[in-house]
Structure 1
Amino acid sequence: MIKRGVNHLHSSQPKSCFVAWRNFLRDCAKRSVRPGISVIASFLAIASATSALAQPDRLLRVIVNSAKDGIQPNAEMTLREAISIVNGTLPMDRLSDAEKMQVSPSTERSRIDFNLTGDTTIRLAEELPPLATGLIIDGATQPGYKGDRSAIIELPLPIPTVAITPADGALIFRGLTVAADDVTIRGLSLYGFTSNHEEPSRATPNTPTTPPADIFIAHRLPPADIRKQRIPANFAPFYPDDLPPKGTLIENNWLGIPPSADGSGRTTGIRSAFGVSVFNGTGTIIRRNWIADHEGSAIITSVKATDLRVTENAILANGVAGMPDAIRLEGNVDQAQITGNVICGNDGSAVYLFKPDGAVQIRENQITYNGRRLRRAAVYLMGNNHQVTDNQVSYQTGPGVVVAAVPHSQRAIITGNRFIGLEGLSIDLLTQQNTNVLDYQVGDGLNPPRNNFFRRLETGNAAIAPPQFITRNFVALASTDGQPQTAPIQIYGKADPGSAIEIYRVTSAGSENSLTEPIAKAETDSKGEFTAALSGLKLGEQISAIATDPRYGTSEPAVPAQIRAIAASSTDSTRPVSPTSAPRCVTLSPPPPEPPTVSTPIVLKVPRSIHFALDKDFISPASARVLDRIAQVLQENPMVLVSIVGHTDPRATDAYNLALGARRAQNTRNYLLRKGIAAERMTIRSVGERQPATPGRNKLDFARDRRAEFLYKDVRDIEIIVQEDDLQIER
């Protein structure tokens, strides 16, 4: 217990011996432990000594010149030593003369700079001390850092030189822990920080009380263990002196990937669990970072993340093994802003709001190819007064924006966005009448008319009515070349009185219509009628519209209308919208040459499936060789997309087999990710036992059923072969 108390003292940096003693006793009380006289005396002695060192008497600049880890009085200054010096827990008299040469006065804030020679990857043996005072950790000071060179075209993302990762065999929860105001983390690569969700004293797995992450932000005192006390009504199990750090700045870092990673953002090492966890903080700024390849979300919040700014980040291929959403916001996130990011190839939603307090703005983001593992809305909203504006949302395996019905959510303003190639509505307001889990993840489709007052109480955005055009076909005078004349086309419709109408050009993918481009605005009068003059539309094009009432929010899309010529037959413009080139989240700098256009069908000697042993989901050596062949073909043919479907034999329950099939598909996809296949090119799903390979029921048939099947798609057509080299027939 005394050891735990000492660790508590060192990690929390108490303001005084009294505070440290109070916290120690509180920790004892929670664990029903009564400290003895010797423990009390030892603790007070250590508390007094440590308290004197807790607040450094001056601002310092410390230069890290060693990639090693540890605290030793030698010729090398490690990162652990630098943090301890700045925190005030490592006094100068414990440093060697050579180490003292790396410490000098600073102005405004303390700072840690780098001057590493040779190896620039710092491999940690254990978790670093929390950053307990305002400081700057600046990887951009490392010689050779090129801050004016971006890794990609879309955003200014310099390539870091200094990396921080666990040592081989070390399991470390967090890279850097922020526990003080005014901390800046700049120009670093942090990756490989995770948890096996198991405590050494327990035989069964156990979820940590706080999430592992590359960067973790919380108050000075360790977060309370909510399993051992009643959770308060506000879900904030903290004491009044557990103040959230203010003004954390995280910029120009690579999180989840090493500096040596290629543009796909993948590493062959251990994945980090999460990128940035704002467990308890305010005024955090996360900008111009590359956040990729995490098991869970790139950015998550928990208790408090007010005034959060997430801007100009590349957030790619996250959620590959756990919480699937790129950005998941919960707790108090009032005034949070998510702006100007590229959010692509993640396994769930781009932005997922789960029962948040406060309003969030989501604007001007490029959101594409998400939902690779779980079909979800690109943006999923719970709560009130959110704004989703001027984003481009494309190729989502689900709707564009969903507004939840439980908890009752309203006044979400969703305007100025462009939606392309969605597997769902551009805007979907959920209703409490549809309570299936999938309804809340992928939407429930167009709502019935609001024919009674209770519709407002049971539907997202209070069931604001979508606009209705007075006709499904608006007529244009055709010119000699079959296009409309330059005279505008007058359109008419109805919506709720006092609504602002936004009219869109529409493209279609299957039966779902995407609001592709906003082209005009109008206002409804006191009777709910509106009109607008549209120019530049071609015959056969479709239009739709949405209505926004500031009292309730934005509606679902109107049923589309079509532009037709007088006395002309209907022109069918509903056609699937598919990518016209290989899916790509970002463009490397300089961009690689585009693959040549091929107009004839291609024939690929590529397997269609791999197989698994009975009740197993791991990749066998024989299947790995098959996957290597598939990876090679996919690398050589960047236009090819693939859906990986997990199958089982029929000898278990349907629910068990669906879960087993999902693990097989996921492990297959993860293998290809490690081979460098981009996440945006692959989706996964499970059908369990529902699609057997053969109708038979002998051991050979069952072995054929146990498979991950590859459904290849190419915009130019494709032919596939079948293989059974890795069949694993049970004994």
Structure 2
Amino acid sequence: MQIDMLDYFNAISSRIKSNKLVLLICVLLMLSPRNVLANNQNVVAYKAIINSNKDGTIKADTELTLREAIALVNGSLSFAQLSSTEQQQVTVHPSPRIEFNLSAAETIIELEEVLPPLSIAGLVIDGTTQPGYDATKSPTAEIKIPKPIVTITAAKEAEVFRGLTIVADNITIRGLSLYGFSSEHRETQSTPPADIFIAHTFIPPHTFKLKAFAGEFIEDQNRQPPKGVIIENNWLGITTDEKMPVVTSAFGVSVFNAVETIIRNNRISYHDGSAIITGIKAQGMQVIENIILGNGLAGMPDAIRLDGIIDQSEIRSNLICANDGSAVFIFKAIGSATIHKNSFKFNGRRFRRAAIYLMGNDHQVKDNQISYQSGAGVVITSYPQSDRNLITGNQFANLEGLSIDLNTRHNVGVQDFQNGDGPNPQRNSGNRRLDTANAAINTPQFLSPEFYAGINTTVGIDGTADPGSQVDVYRVSGKDGYGSLNQQLGTAKVNDKGRFSLNLGDLQPGDRISAIATLPENGTSEPAYPALIRGLNSQSPITNPQLPITNPQCLTPPIAEKPPEKPPEKPPEKPPEKPPEPIRLKVPKNIHFALDKSNISPRSAKVLDKIIKVLRDNPSIVVELHGHTDKRASDAYNQALAARRAKSVRDYLIRQGITPERMTIRSYGETQLLTAGISKLDHARNRRVEVIFKDIGGIEVIVQEEDLQLE
């Protein structure tokens, strides 16, 4: 593949002032294996078996490294340049492959610097070939993803910003663990550091501001985005013992510019930013059957962030849990995506956001389970106008907002758009279609706030909605307010006079029902305010309780095979058991910090260890971590500082094995002072993270001050 290098270098030089940087880019591009292999139809394809976990300078010795194998299959290193011992690890093969045969004690490859881009089409890097890999076993029951053996990470004290860079078609990355890839360049307007980065060749293998290259994003026959890349059965951002690494990666998979990428059956956790993020183009991308857990720890908080051209993309059958923001956040994207058959739960741990945030037209959100969200279920923005978004067949539970929230342009706060602006009034003018998402389709209205169950428990439901729309009626969970659309009960067509009716069974006194309306040319509405089901002889209805949180967890181990059952033996008679004594535990409440600091001191670590023991012993407990400051500095500064403190506490707990779905971060800055005094002791008491224990029984929370840090 040829590039007009002179024109390219001139374009870069006009945008970047540093001559040294321009020289570096020129050298990197001239050495690019894809340029060396340009239009060469006679390149020999090799299968290289890596037998060394070392990294460093390419040289002829007794072991074949990953860096040498990549250079060999790319064509920048010839077979003749290998030693005779290394040549024994290489065979001619119908298609290029890299496999592994590492010593069982040396399966971690620590990179000293970034690897060369993978630039030969059809290359497969297959970690499942490592001896000991068991494709039949998985540590998780929800989605079976085998544990990798081969790990690729950054060497200690080496800043390696990227694990694997893909610039060619039909490359497959399989069965690897990658983590620890980050960079000091944290700006979102740069090519992001990531475990796996996919783009066309002209992107230099480093992080540069996109603005400098704005004129270079022109596709032609020599600058085509990679097509058909497959990322499967990998663990990204997480160690093979299921821990958060000491150095977390910036992003998981960055589909910066690619077509028809498939990301399936991966476990993606503990990234500073999103697990999957797109850039210029991710057309036809499929994200299927992945476990995406605990991402967004320090930066962009959303599990999947879609920007650029995403037309015909699909997000299906994933478990997306305990991420810091939304499960899926679509921002200023071109084209539409289908989001269906996923389980989204316990997201919004650091920011209150909707589980799914949509911007744009013609998205479909179908048959998902969305629960325990510290925000709304689905929010559709109106900047720009977003219409024809269909939200059907989903099951919602335990939301801190509406199941479906259509934003209007009158409410412009950050929370309005990320977490919804609440119920809309009925549309009373044509102009409303222009300032509200989904063309302001009207919410259905029941003709009565109460309906009565007959003798056979059949209930007749009547209401009004936009003529021609389809109304779906749901049972609502939650005893107050709008609740959550929890179970779809029936569907009715609205006539040309705007009326609908249907008969529903399986309803009990005390149930609450709501409804949504869908018109294909507009989209789906917000939910109706619930109506109550009463019995014919019922004076006081039974309330429908909120679904409980019991042992909140994202993942469970697989069920072990049971041994053959023996005939049951008659147990000896036991005396009646006394009821168990209530749990009586004392647990600290506050973690304190030094002036203008957010790091955990050794004394505070000892306090946290006491909290950790209680959380380990009582898996049903969830906590909110409320960050606070003293009243000095500005409101904005203190809000950010308080958030950093709460995050530090959360990260410490995660590293000690407390799962992220059990923790929610809240930042209060200086708004909730413990004491109004101005002494050094008063300020020290205010500089804290307060641990709020939920679902507790018999636990005595104590306020300790053994870790106060005076100025």
TM-score, structure 2 normalization: 0.92
Distance in 1 of aligned mates of 2:212 and 2:179: 33
Q: State the match for 1:115 in structure 2.
A: 101
Is contact 2:15-2:213 (8 Å) kept? Answer: no
Secondary structure of 1:602's counterpart equals coil
Structure 2 regions of 5+ residues with no counterpart? 563-578
Q: State the match for 2:485 in structure 1.
A: 515
1:463 equivalent among 440, 448, 451: 440
- Aligned CA distance change for structure 1 residues 33 and 643 (closer, same or farther; 3 Å): closer
- Aligned CA distance change for structure 1 residues 674 and 34 (closer, same or farther; 3 Å): closer
Pairwise CA distance, 1:267: 2.3
Is contact 1:423-1:512 (8 Å) kept? Answer: no
Q: State the match for 1:201 in structure 2.
A: none
Q: State the match for 1:585 in structure 2.
A: 554
- Aligned CA distance change for structure 1 residues 551 and 113 (closer, same or farther; 3 Å): same
Is contact 1:421-1:509 (8 Å) kept? Answer: no
Pairwise CA distance, 1:50: 7.1
Pairwise CA distance, 1:573: 1.6
Distance in 2 of aligned mates of 1:576 and 1:105: 63
Pairwise CA distance, 1:599: 7.9
Q: State the match for 1:630 in structure 2.
A: 611
- Which string of whole-angstrom CA distances, capped at 9 and with x for unpartnered residues, describes residues 167-205 of structure 1? 11111111001100000000000000011228xxxxxxx
Distance in 1 of aligned mates of 2:640 and 2:596: 11
1:505 equivalent among 447, 452, 475: 475
The residue correspondences of 1:477-496 to structure 2 (distance < 5 A) are 477=454, 485-486=455-456, 488-496=458-466
Is contact 2:34-2:120 (8 Å) kept? Answer: no
> How many residues end up aligned between the 2 structures?
686
Between 712-721 and 44-53, the greater mean CA deviation after superposition: 44-53
Q: State the match for 2:566 in structure 1.
A: none
Distance in 2 of aligned mates of 1:33 and 1:403: 43
Letter in 1 for 2:191: T
Pairwise CA distance, 1:353: 0.4
1:82 equivalent among 63, 69, 75: 69
Letter in 2 for 1:66: S
Secondary structure of 2:256's counterpart equals strand
- Aligned CA distance change for structure 1 residues 599 and 471 (closer, same or farther; 3 Å): farther
Is 1:138 the counterpart of 2:142? The answer is no
Is 1:125 the counterpart of 2:112? The answer is yes
1:551 equivalent among 479, 498, 521: 521
2:507 equivalent among 524, 537, 554: 537
Q: State the match for 2:635 in structure 1.
A: 654
Is 1:679 the counterpart of 2:642? The answer is no
Secondary structure of 2:77's counterpart equals coil
Is 1:668 the counterpart of 2:649? The answer is yes
Pairwise CA distance, 1:603: 2.6
- Aligned CA distance change for structure 1 residues 569 and 405 (closer, same or farther; 3 Å): same
Pairwise CA distance, 1:93: 1.6
- Aligned CA distance change for structure 1 residues 531 and 172 (closer, same or farther; 3 Å): same
- Aligned CA distance change for structure 1 residues 500 and 93 (closer, same or farther; 3 Å): same
Secondary structure of 1:632's counterpart equals helix
Q: State the match for 2:36 in structure 1.
A: 51
Secondary structure of 2:302's counterpart equals coil
Q: State the match for 2:269 in structure 1.
A: 292
Q: State the match for 1:613 in structure 2.
A: 594
Is 1:97 the counterpart of 2:81? The answer is no
Pairwise CA distance, 1:625: 1.3
Letter in 2 for 1:696: G
- Aligned CA distance change for structure 1 residues 525 and 669 (closer, same or farther; 3 Å): same
1:353 equivalent among 321, 327, 330: 330
Is 1:414 the counterpart of 2:391? The answer is yes
Distance in 1 of aligned mates of 2:140 and 2:427: 47
1:194 equivalent among 179, 182, 190: 182
Is 1:334 the counterpart of 2:320? The answer is no
Distance in 1 of aligned mates of 2:460 and 2:183: 61
Pairwise CA distance, 1:26: 4.2
TM-score, structure 1 normalization: 0.89
Distance in 1 of aligned mates of 2:133 and 2:301: 33
Pairwise CA distance, 1:562: 1.1
The residue correspondences of 1:249-288 to structure 2 (distance < 5 A) are 249-261=230-242, 266-288=243-265
Between 434-443 and 21-30, the greater mean CA deviation after superposition: 21-30
- Which string of whole-angstrom CA distances, capped at 9 and with x for unpartnered residues, describes residues 241-274 of structure 1? 321100000000000012122xxxx324200110
Pairwise CA distance, 1:697: 2.6
Secondary structure of 1:661's counterpart equals helix
Is contact 2:180-2:245 (8 Å) kept? Answer: no
- Aligned CA distance change for structure 1 residues 237 and 295 (closer, same or farther; 3 Å): farther
Secondary structure of 1:147's counterpart equals coil
Letter in 1 for 2:36: S
Distance in 1 of aligned mates of 2:350 and 2:43: 52
Pairwise CA distance, 1:124: 0.5
Is 1:379 the counterpart of 2:366? The answer is no
- Which string of whole-angstrom CA distances, capped at 9 and with x for unpartnered residues, describes residues 33-63 of structure 1? 999xx99x99999899973688461221111
Is contact 2:67-2:115 (8 Å) kept? Answer: yes
- Aligned CA distance change for structure 1 residues 169 and 34 (closer, same or farther; 3 Å): closer
Is 1:241 the counterpart of 2:229? The answer is no
Distance in 1 of aligned mates of 2:7 and 2:27: 15
Structure 1 regions of 5+ residues with no counterpart? 1-14, 199-205, 478-484
- Which string of whole-angstrom CA distances, capped at 9 and with x for unpartnered residues, describes residues 646-683 of structure 1? 11111222222111111111111111111111000000
2:50 equivalent among 57, 64, 76: 64
- Aligned CA distance change for structure 1 residues 470 and 554 (closer, same or farther; 3 Å): same
Pairwise CA distance, 1:25: 4.6
Between 206-215 and 638-647, the greater mean CA deviation after superposition: 206-215
Is contact 1:346-1:369 (8 Å) kept? Answer: yes
- Aligned CA distance change for structure 1 residues 196 and 65 (closer, same or farther; 3 Å): same
- Aligned CA distance change for structure 1 residues 44 and 398 (closer, same or farther; 3 Å): closer
The residue correspondences of 1:588-603 to structure 2 (distance < 5 A) are 588-590=557-559, 601-603=582-584
Secondary structure of 1:331's counterpart equals coil
Letter in 2 for 1:323: M
Secondary structure of 1:687's counterpart equals strand
1:309 equivalent among 283, 286, 291: 286
CA RMSD of aligned residues (A): 2.7
Distance in 2 of aligned mates of 1:371 and 1:402: 13
Secondary structure of 1:606's counterpart equals strand
Is contact 2:357-2:380 (8 Å) kept? Answer: yes
Is contact 1:329-1:352 (8 Å) kept? Answer: yes
Distance in 2 of aligned mates of 1:352 and 1:423: 17
Is 1:701 the counterpart of 2:682? The answer is yes
What is the identity percentage for the equivalent residue pairs of Structure 1 and Structure 2? 50
Distance in 2 of aligned mates of 1:187 and 1:299: 18
Is 1:172 the counterpart of 2:157? The answer is no
Is 1:454 the counterpart of 2:454? The answer is no
